[in-house]
């Protein structure tokens, strides 16, 4: 695989560490759970999101650091931190985050929920009626599917699935065969719910829940008749979940990936979570078995998997404790016209999700499937979910005789199985399914229709910053552009030709494409702003993205700052750039906005001597996006839409003084506090676009 990348060495003091910066983002998410102005059940949800994010952090990032150490690597990143030192700092930071997380849950959120009639009952508080119901539930629903495993020479330690709930049991006495191993493992099947609601008639509160772990603790003795249970401790292991497919060996990517997916649940252990009542002896025994050190042990004062609480807000019918629902709006041009093709011909259409509906994209694909004038459909798919109406429309279009091609990214992390399933289903109905270019994930969001009209064939195109995933479009902020601009259509057709066929990359008229031109064009645009400023003109850059890590781009931003360019960066997650450092980055401000919706759109604005170039993109400013993925940045050519992107996607976030965090020169973040008028970007957009007051 040919790798495109910058090879220069830059001063390590110019960069923050990616992993530590990513953990600071988790602290900002945790701050949402601590915010009294956030509805109570949403605070619980944010708490769960932190746990989910940390799971992936260990599965991918920490496992990568550990792999470097295992191979004896002392190679540091751009920030200069060697792997062993970084792992120590990561462990320290995560232990602090988890301590704060459980303190917030136990001391604040759970008591507040109880006051609102939502209770999670401890075993010591069960009434007789509740105990009777739970006992019956255990015997009916739980015990039949459990397989307790005593540890002895005939029963080795069972294979423990990644992130599964397990119990280590300390025993005393002898069983029917005279065995006395002293320890056993009970695995909780994933089919069992981790949170169980008790019937209303046996509870004081309207919503009363118990944890599966509490039920198992209370009845574990029944699994080991005649033996004394000295201790029962829940534990959970996080494993390396990164997939590796060898380019030299692979003949069939889909078949190779299926084999890798079977092993994902049993990768090397990277973290052990145990309840804080776990004995030292048992904790040491588990650490030894999983080949982990004490720094890999995380003791939790509560259930070991808070992600399982994520569903509780959906189960509790208390609107006052949740964000107010809203109905995404439709642009007026689509609201008035039934013919989506005519609407697009009348002018480019900008969709701003989740404030505006994703339905026009679904409607476009539905219309294409049914329209006899549509001859061909081409689409890239990165994440779309297990149940996708878009995929159903593609299948139907193929069944109706249209030429349908789908570039399906099989290596979309944690969506591989869903994408393999869709690949099978689409191929069964005649869709041409390709997997892009091996070694480069296809992350670009492209949909192209070819339609026969008076005067010849016309291309209709949708370009987006987010996935073709109807569910995530309801809570990710993203832009989508519907256009039939002929030159944009030519560019998109060329990109599809590159991905599905073979040949040299051709120059594109408007799109910036990775891994070829995106990074060089971004750097060139930054350098052009610097040159304008040096010549006495105005230099201005505003960019919004999820992550900023690529060193050559960061160095170009530093040089632009020193030339006098005013630079505002809105970076949701990790940022390796150091802002407001005297002599280095005086003119660079970095902020992160964390709120109800996940900030996801990527927007790049350059003043360009008054020409004001505005690009939307699927790519962050990261090495992987620039050099190891197929990505697209596309221009907003319509002046009216360009003003909309500036107002809705950039200026609203620069004026936010409630959910914005300003990055400090030392890498810390300071939350903005309103002085006078409160301005919350997401709430303003809800009001202006979706009509929510």
Catalytic residues, by residue number, are 443
The Cα 216–Cα 273 span in angstroms is 18
The Cα 442–Cα 405 span in angstroms is 14
Cβ-Cβ contacts under 8 Å for 313 (sequence gap 6 or more) = 41, 42, 44, 45, 321, 322
Angle between helices 416-428 and 253-264 (to 10 degrees): 140
Q: Is-cis flag, bond preceding 354, omega within 30?
A: yes
53 assigned ligand-binding residue:
yes
Residues 515/440, Cβ–Cβ less than 8 Å: yes
Q: Is-cis flag, bond preceding 663, omega within 30?
A: no
Cβ-Cβ contacts under 8 Å for 576 (sequence gap 6 or more) = 15, 16, 17, 18, 21, 78, 79, 548, 549, 551, 554
Cα–Cα separations (whole angstroms), residue 26 to 23, 30, 100, 394: 5, 6, 12, 38
The Cα 335–Cα 332 span in angstroms is 5
74 assigned ligand-binding residue:
no
* Nearest residue to 572 (alpha-carbon basis) of 595, 538, 541, 550: 595
Token output for 530: 């610097």
The Cα 448–Cα 344 span in angstroms is 13
The Cα 41–Cα 424 span in angstroms is 39
What long-range pairs does 94-99 form, CB within 8 A, spacing at least 24?
Answer: 94/23, 94/54, 94/57, 94/298, 95/298, 97/23, 97/26, 97/27, 97/30, 97/50, 97/54, 98/54, 98/298, 98/300
572 assigned ligand-binding residue:
yes
Residue 452: in which H helix or E strand, if any? strand 445-453
Counted residue by residue, the chain has a size of: 693
* Nearest residue to 87 (alpha-carbon basis) of 270, 276, 283: 270
The Cα 658–Cα 64 span in angstroms is 36
- Backbone angles phi and psi of 176, in degrees to 5: -65, -25
Annotated binding site: 53, 383, 413, 476, 572, 600
Binding site members for ATP: 53, 476, 572, 600
Annotated binding site for Mg(2+): 383, 413
């Amino acid at each position: 695989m040919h790798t495109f990348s910058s090879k220069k060495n830059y001063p390590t003091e110019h960069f923050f560490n990616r992993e530590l910066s990513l953990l600071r983002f988790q602290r900002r998410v945790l701050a949402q759970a601590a915010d009294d102005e956030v509805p109570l059940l949403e605070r619980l949800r944010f708490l769960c999101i932190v746990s989910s994010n940390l799971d992936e952090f260990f599965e991918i990032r920490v496992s990568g650091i550990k792999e470097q150490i295992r191979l004896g690597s002392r190679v540091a990143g751009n920030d200069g931190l060697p792997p062993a030192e970084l792992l120590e700092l990561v462990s320290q930071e995560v232990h602090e985050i988890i301590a704060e997380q459980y303190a917030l849950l136990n001391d604040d959120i759970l008591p507040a929920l109880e006051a609102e009639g939502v209770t999670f009952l401890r075993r010591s508080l069960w009434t007789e009626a509740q105990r009777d119901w739970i006992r019956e539930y255990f015997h009916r629903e739980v015990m039949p599917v459990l397989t307790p495993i005593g540890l002895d020479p005939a029963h080795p330690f069972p294979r423990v699935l990644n992130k599964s709930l397990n119990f280590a049991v300390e025993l005393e006495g002898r069983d029917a065969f005279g065995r006395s191993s002293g320890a056993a493992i009970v695995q909780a099947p994933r089919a069992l719910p981790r949170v169980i609601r008790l019937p209303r008639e046996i509870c004081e509160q309207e919503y009363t829940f118990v944890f599966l772990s509490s039920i198992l603790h209370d009845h574990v003795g029944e699994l080991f008749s005649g033996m004394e249970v000295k201790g029962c401790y829940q534990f959970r292991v996080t494993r390396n979940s990164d997939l590796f497919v060898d380019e030299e060996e692979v003949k069939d990517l889909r078949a190779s990936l299926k084999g890798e997916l079977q092993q994902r649940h049993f990768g090397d252990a990277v973290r052990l979570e145990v309840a804080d009542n776990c004995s030292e002896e048992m904790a040491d025994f588990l650490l030894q078995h999983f080949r982990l050190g004490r720094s890999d042990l995380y003791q939790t004062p509560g259930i070991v998997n808070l992600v399982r609480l994520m569903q509780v807000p959906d189960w509790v019918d208390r609107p006052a404790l949740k964000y107010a629902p809203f109905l995404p709006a439709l642009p007026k041009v689509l609201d008035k016209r039934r013919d989506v093709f005519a609407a697009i011909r009348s002018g480019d259409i900008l969709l701003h999700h989740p404030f505006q509906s994703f339905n026009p994209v679904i409607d476009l694909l539905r219309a294409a499937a049914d329209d006899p004038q549509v001859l061909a459909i081409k689409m890239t798919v990165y994440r779309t979910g297990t149940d996708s109406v878009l995929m159903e429309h593609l299948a139907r279009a193929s069944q109706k005789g249209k030429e349908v091609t789908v570039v399906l990214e099989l290596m979309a992390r944690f969506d591989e199985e869903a994408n393999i399933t869709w690949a099978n289903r689409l191929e069964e109905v005649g869709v041409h399914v390709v997997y892009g270019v091996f070694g480069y994930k296809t992350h670009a969001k492209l949909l192209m229709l070819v339609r026969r009209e008076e005067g010849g064939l016309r291309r209709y195109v949708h370009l987006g910053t987010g996935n073709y995933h109807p569910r995530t479009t309801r809570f990710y902020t993203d832009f989508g552009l519907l256009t039939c601009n002929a030159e944009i259509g030519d560019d998109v057709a060329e990109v599809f030709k590159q991905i599905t066929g073979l040949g040299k990359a051709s120059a594109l008229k408007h799109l910036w494409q990775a891994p070829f031109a995106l990074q060089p064009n971004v750097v060139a645009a930054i350098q052009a702003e610097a040159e304008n400023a040096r010549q006495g003109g105005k230099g201005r850059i505003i960019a919004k993205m999820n992550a900023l890590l690529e060193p050559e781009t960061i160095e170009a931003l530093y040089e632009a700052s020193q030339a006098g360019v005013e630079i505002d960066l809105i970076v949701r997650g990790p940022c390796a750039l150091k802002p407001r450092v005297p002599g280095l980055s005086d003119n660079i401000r970095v902020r992160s906005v964390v709120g109800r919706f996940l900030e996801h759109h990527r927007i790049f604005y350059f003043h360009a001597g008054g020409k004001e170039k505005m690009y939307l993109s699927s790519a962050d400013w990261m090495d992987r996006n620039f050099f190891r993925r197929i990505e697209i940045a596309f221009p907003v050519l319509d002046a009216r839409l360009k003003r909309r992107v500036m107002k809705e996607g950039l200026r609203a976030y620069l004026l936010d003084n409630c959910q914005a965090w300003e990055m400090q020169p030392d890498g810390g973040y300071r939350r903005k506090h309103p002085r006078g008028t409160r301005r919350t970007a997401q709430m303003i957009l809800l009001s202006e676009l979706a009509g929510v007051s």
